[in-house]
Amino acid sequence: MPDKSSHFKVRSFTCVDLFCGAGGLTEGFHKAGFTSAFAVDFDEQAVQTFRYNHPNTVCLHRDVQSLRGKEILHAAGLTPGSVDVLYGGPPCQGYSLAGLRIADDPKNHLFLDFVRLTSELEPKVVLFENVEGIKSMQGGKAIRAIFQEFERIGYCCEARVLNAADYGVPQHRLRFILLAVPKGCTAISFPQKTHRSPNQQLNLFDEIPLLHVTAWEALSDLPLIGAGEGAEELAHSGNYYNLYQRERRGCRSPGTIFNHRAIKHCERVQTRYSQIPEGGDNQLLPVELQTKKRNTWKLHREKPSRTVTCNHRTDILHPMLPRGTTVREAARLQSFDDDYCFFGNLTRKAKWVTQDDQVGNAVPPLLARALALQIKSVLAEEAVKVQANFAKS
């Protein structure tokens, strides 16, 4: 393996996204000043979404199992050793606490391709992202296997579970984050929290001035549309009521809101939804209104959302209107900007993943940005050290 200290001679910070999906990780790294050189995903509609929102990134519609590091470098116009950060989250259905957790699900072995491409590309930093449930999969054997594979190819790993709400995302979303660097290089610590719960007790050494962003702070400026109303493209009034809303305006298509279309519920369903108390779920309904479904929850305006799922149209309800959340509302809760456009169908009858899937599977861009800024500071520090060493020699 080449001398890893030579990696830090590169001055421009370049990233590569495996299993890119709609592009939440890349969006966060872009906001932190990274150059996204390459991305890949197996789903056609997710790739369409990514390409629209990141037109300067080479994005392939491919299965990573058939992809080689040399192909990535050639397609992106990169040279060996020039990838600063390699990141991604392999499909996690088998890892999820909500899924069947089938140990021999072939998707659970895609991390081996992640490791293989790490070995072939030799990035300075690796970011491996997944659901919290991966920690307990197979009694912890999955995590140990992942650590061992990275160590086998010369990388040291640190891992932690982060809550997106602690980094300005209006949603309690726990994500497993693994950071890896070549042996002998400076370890990268995890970013400090920027937001906290109003109930959190602070001590003299805490410096977390901002409170968690609430669901209503995220959504209150969006047009109030009823069930069956809205459109794939709407004009925004331009008004905002807080910093979070102002920052979500975006710069690609100022004044435009994409994907704000509400599902058309029948009168019976709307009646049931209207009876669910704010911040409560459908198990609190009168017996005569209850159904077999047990995971429908209504947003509380003064609290962050629960985890946004791929079924948010029926799992997460608007706090004031008797309907499920729109793709745009879910994207706001994920911290995507308003002009980040999602392509694809709204039903699972289609071959490819839906807009809902793309939003629900994404890493919140603000969480990704916090990680990117932390990584960037270490990369910059290492670059300065290398410069100084060259000056002495």
Give yes or no: residues 16 and 163 share one domain. yes
Note whether residue 264 is domain-resident. Answer: yes
Quick one: pLDDT at residue 393? 64
Do residues 295 and 183 share a domain?
no
The predicted structure's pLDDT at residue 270: 94
Indicate if 185 and 149 belong to the same structural domain: yes
Structural domain contains residue 204: no
Structural domain boundaries enclosing 287 = 215-361
Query: What pLDDT is stored for residue 88 in this prediction?
Result: 96
Please determine, for residue 2, whether its predicted confidence score (pLDDT) is greater than 60: no
Rounded (5°) CA angle 196-201-204: 100
Q: Is 15 a catalytic residue?
A: no
We report the CATH number of the domain holding residue 317 as 3.90.120.10
Residue 205 located in a structural domain? no
- Quote the pLDDT of residue 8: 42
Is the same domain home to 138 and 78?
A: yes
Q: Is residue 202 part of a domain?
A: no
Q: Which long-range contacts (CB under 8 A, 24 or more apart) does 375-378 make?
A: 375/85, 375/125, 375/127, 375/179, 375/188, 376/13, 376/32, 376/33, 376/34, 378/125, 378/186, 378/188
What are 123-170's pLDDT values in tens digits?
999 999 999 988 888 788 888 888 999 999 999 999 999 999 999 999
Domain match, 293 and 369 both: no
Does residue 268 lie within any of the structural domains?
Answer: yes
In a domain, 210, yes or no: no
Mean pLDDT rounded to a whole number for the chain: 89
Are 165 and 275 in a shared domain?
no
Q: What 3-state class would DSSP assign to 49? A: helix
| Range scoring the smallest mean pLDDT among 64-78, 178-192, 235-249, 346-360 | 346-360
Same domain, 20 and 166: yes
Indicate if 30 and 155 belong to the same structural domain: yes
- DSSP symbols for 297-341: EEPPTTS-B-PPPTTHHHHEE-SSSSSBPPHHHHHHHHT--TT--
What are the structure tokens assigned to 342, written together? 């999602």
287 and 321 inside one domain: yes
Question: What pLDDT is attached to residue 203?
Answer: 65
Domain total of the chain: 2
The CATH number assigned to the domain holding 382 equals: 3.40.50.150
Catalytic choice (92, 157, 185, 341): 92
Same domain, 254 and 142: no
Query: How far is residue 139's CA from residue 37's CA, in Å, rounded to a whole number?
Result: 37
Rounded alpha-carbon distances, angstroms, from residue 179 to 30, 75, 88, 360: 18, 26, 11, 23
Q: How confident is the model at residue 105 (pLDDT cuts 50, 70, 90)?
A: low
Domain-embedded: residue 168 = yes
* Co-location of 353 and 224 in the same domain: yes
Burial 248-260 (b: 16+ CB within 10 A, else e): bbbeeeeeebbbb
Q: Residue 88's closest CA among 55, 135, 123, 139?
A: 123
Helix (H), strand (E), coil (C) string for 327-339 = HHHHHHHHCCCCC
Tell me what pLDDT residue 10 has. Answer: 43
Judgement on whether residues 125 and 172 belong to the same structural domain of the protein: yes
**Extended strands (E) in 241-302:** 256-261, 297-298
Distance between CA atoms of residues 220 and 359, nearest Å = 20
Report which of residues 154 and 207 the model is more confident about: 154
In a domain, 320, yes or no: yes
CA distance 147 to 144: 5
* Residue 331: closest CA among 229, 210, 221, 219: 219
